[in-house]
Amino acid sequence: MRLGKRMDIAAVPFTGAAVLFFVKDIRQRFHSVLLNTETIVGGHFVMNKNIAIITGASSGIGKAFLEEVVKERGAYGCVPFEEIWAVARREDKIVETKALLGDDRIVPIKADLASPEDLSVLADRLAAEKPVVGLLINCAGTGMKGAVEDLPAKTIEDTVDVNCTCLAKLTRICLPYMISKTPIWTEDNSPRIINIASSAGFLPQPGFAAYAASKAFVISFSRALYYELIDYNIVVTTVCPGPVNTDFQRKATGGVQTEFTGIRQYVVADPVKLAKASIKASRSGRQILVYGFSQKALHVASKIIPTSWIMFAEKVFMPVEKASAAVEEEGSVPYVPEERRELESGASVEGIPAVKPETEDTAVSEEEELKAVSVSEPEEETVKEPEKDKTQGQSGDKTDETA
């Protein structure tokens, strides 16, 4: 009897835990049903659907996120999203991925996020369908390696537009469809935003200046947004990976390098594992995820070691590479910015006075210049005055004779 009583007493905590888990599961199920019926979105009482939006979903990290989101399950195995909007410039790649995954919930959306017009089309579609955006993953990004003076101005503009402006605008566009006026969000089913930054945003990077600066913006913007939306139970997670095994390196170097070199080749991350860890961190409510031990070490070092010391080490061990994107063809002369070409050709650019280029005919060596000066000096002393008119010449002769 005593043994039986002891077993009953020991079973009480497990029974209580099972009841709490069951109640929590029922509550999550209830909210899932409520979410897919009627809620107030933007001040209107509407029927809605729960969707996920993933940018840059045609390749790389974005494609890995798309594959992981398709596998996500909610309470009792139900799918948490009725539609998954995959946004990218290459719609054909998304269609291929959709056929490969065999999921009809994937909705390919062709859009160049550097274009304000395409962003407006996405905003109009949200306004027309009025869905609930349960997940927003800002994964689209671009960057080009090389010194700023060697990069085209359009390349720097696109880097800032896609990595900074587009991310901030799209987040603002989606927020009205995430912030609910009714208390339906809990920690289990709250909307989530995942912004892909980079460990490059921890420190300035000569030779990758615009990209590193744009990722520093993503980190700062996302961390501030986390605290702005915390009262709405909306989680904003900033993901900071290092080098990732995608096609980004080839694009960033203009096709010259397809793989990372130097110390970076030993810390390359797998995009699928990165996507899984990011979703897990978002579901647990984490504010920032620095992926990989090496990147965590860099993150700590950036807060302890003076930036000037780190920059000196970068200059010594990782010198600035020339803009390989700027190589027009293999084996050709490196890229020269258009402005510099125009200046060297004698044209004026934006008010800058033209400079006449030296040619083989006009170029003069220093020795020839000195020789020309030495020869021309005595000649100047013996130069005769120009002849005057006959009348003036005759009168001049007379005056000379009389004198």
Least confident of 73-87, 179-193, 208-222: 179-193
- How many percent of the chain have pLDDT more than 90? 34
CATH code, 33-325: 3.40.50.720
Angle at 160 between CA 258 and CA 136, to 5 degrees: 85
Question: Per-residue pLDDT tens for 335-376?
Answer: 445 555 555 555 544 544 544 444 444 444 555 555 554 544
Higher pLDDT, 339 or 63: 63
Question: To the nearest whole number, what is the mean pLDDT of the chain?
Answer: 74
Q: How far, in Å, CA of 346 to CA of 388, rounded?
A: 42
Helix (H) or strand (E) holding 8: helix 2-35
Which pair of structure tokens corresponds to residue 67?
Answer: 């594959």
Helix (H) or strand (E) holding 388: none
Residues known to be catalytic? 211
User: Is residue 24 over pLDDT 70?
Assistant: no
Q: How far, in Å, CA of 292 to CA of 81, rounded?
A: 29
32: number of Cβ within 10 Å:
18
Q: How far, in Å, CA of 278 to CA of 61, rounded?
A: 11
Distances (CA, A) of 259 to 113, 200, 318, 327: 26, 17, 16, 18
Beta carbons of 80 and 134 less than 8 angstroms apart: yes
Read off the amino acid at residue 155: T
pTM for the model stands at 0.68
- What is the location of CATH 3.40.50.720 in the chain? 33-325
What pLDDT is stored for residue 309 in this prediction?
Answer: 87
Higher pLDDT, 256 or 213: 213
Question: Per-residue pLDDT tens for 115-125?
Answer: 888 899 999 99
Query: Buried (b) or exposed (e) across 177-208, using 16+ Cβ within 10 A?
Result: bbbbeeebbeeebbbbbbbbbbbbbbbebebb
DSSP-based three-state secondary structure for 142: coil
Q: How far, in Å, CA of 144 to CA of 289, rounded?
A: 24
Distances (CA, A) of 174 to 12, 44, 105: 46, 16, 19
